[in-house]
């Protein structure tokens, strides 16, 4: 009697596959919004790219790596993800964007006292938080090299070296 194959449907699909697809979709939307915001003045780009990198790290690590390797967006993303730091240029641009956004929004609100005061209080708090972040330079070491110039010790490399040591012990014993 031939074995019948059950077609894959939503009911019997692996939950991990759905979760991975959801993370990929969320990451793709965030990256798309971030890229669109690069061409729209006064809207954040890096925040959405950080969210996209985080989501892709859960659903598509190879996509995350491509984003982190991007020549334009990769360095500030790696700086934030690895060191929780913002470059001096990034801080200046962000604070300038906050100030310009506050002025434009106040003008659009017709300088109404309560909304304008609330907006500036929020933007001032946000600006203070950004200004207080650790400052990193573009030349700051990233995860690709350690301080002595050697390649980093990744979990995969550590596991493989442990396995090699164990196999060496087995070879000596046997």
pLDDT in tens, 91-103: 998 899 889 889 9
Q: Is the pLDDT of residue 154 over 50?
A: no
Indicate whether 113 belongs to any domain. yes
| Residue 144 domain flag | no
Q: Which residue has the tokens 């074995």?
A: 3
Do 55 and 71 lie in a common domain? yes
Does the structure show a pLDDT above 50 at 26? Answer: yes
Q: From CA 62, how far away is CA 69, in angstroms rounded?
A: 10
Q: Domain for residue 111, yes or no?
A: yes
Dihedral sign, Cα of residue 15, residue 20, residue 24, residue 26: positive
Residue where one domain finishes, among candidates 104, 119, 134: 134
- Lowest mean pLDDT, pick from 15-24, 37-46, 88-97: 37-46
Last-in-domain residue among 85, 108, 126: 85
Residue 129 lies in a domain: yes
Long-range contacts of 67-73 (CB under 8 A, 24+ apart): 67/31, 73/34, 73/45, 73/46, 73/49
pLDDT tens per residue, range 114-137: 999 999 999 999 999 999 999 986
Contact 67, 49 (CB under 8 A): yes
- What is the model's pLDDT at position 159? 36
> Residue 5 — very low, low, confident or very high, per pLDDT cuts 50/70/90?
low
Answer whether 0.75 is exceeded by the pTM: no
Work out the average pLDDT over 33-37: 90
CB contact at 8 A, 98 and 126: yes
- Look at residues 85, 100, 120 and tell me which one is the last residue of a structural domain: 85
pLDDT of residue 74: 92
Q: What pLDDT score does 4 carry?
A: 59
CA nearest to 124, candidates 95, 160, 148, 150: 95
For residue 84, the model assigns a pLDDT of 93
Q: Is residue 155 part of a domain?
A: no
pLDDT-derived band of residue 77, with 50, 70 and 90 as boundaries? Answer: very high
Query: For residue 172, is it within any domain?
Result: no
Give me the domain span that covers residue 58: 14-85
- Domain co-membership, 69 together with 23: yes
How does residue 40 score in pLDDT terms, banded at 50, 70 and 90? confident
Domains contained in the chain, number:
2
Same domain, 26 and 73: yes
């Amino acid at each position: 009697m031939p074995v019948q194959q059950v077609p894959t449907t939503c009911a019997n699909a692996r939950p991990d596959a759905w979760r991975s697809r959801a993370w990929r979709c969320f990451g793709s939307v965030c990256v798309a919004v971030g890229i669109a915001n690069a061409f729209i003045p006064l809207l954040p780009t890096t925040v959405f790219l950080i969210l996209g990198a985080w989501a892709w790290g859960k659903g598509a690590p190879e996509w995350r790596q491509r984003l982190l390797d991007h020549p334009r967006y990769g360095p500030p993303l790696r700086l934030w993800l690895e060191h929780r730091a913002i470059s001096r240029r990034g801080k200046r641009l962000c604070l300038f964007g906050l100030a310009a956004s506050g002025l434009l929004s106040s003008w659009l609100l017709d300088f109404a006292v309560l909304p304008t005061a609330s907006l500036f209080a929020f933007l001032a708090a946000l600006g203070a938080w950004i200004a207080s972040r650790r400052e990193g330079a573009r030349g700051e070491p990233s995860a690709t090299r350690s301080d002595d110039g050697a390649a980093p010790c990744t979990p995969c490399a550590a596991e493989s070296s442990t396995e090699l040591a164990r196999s060496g012990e087995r070879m000596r014993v046997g």
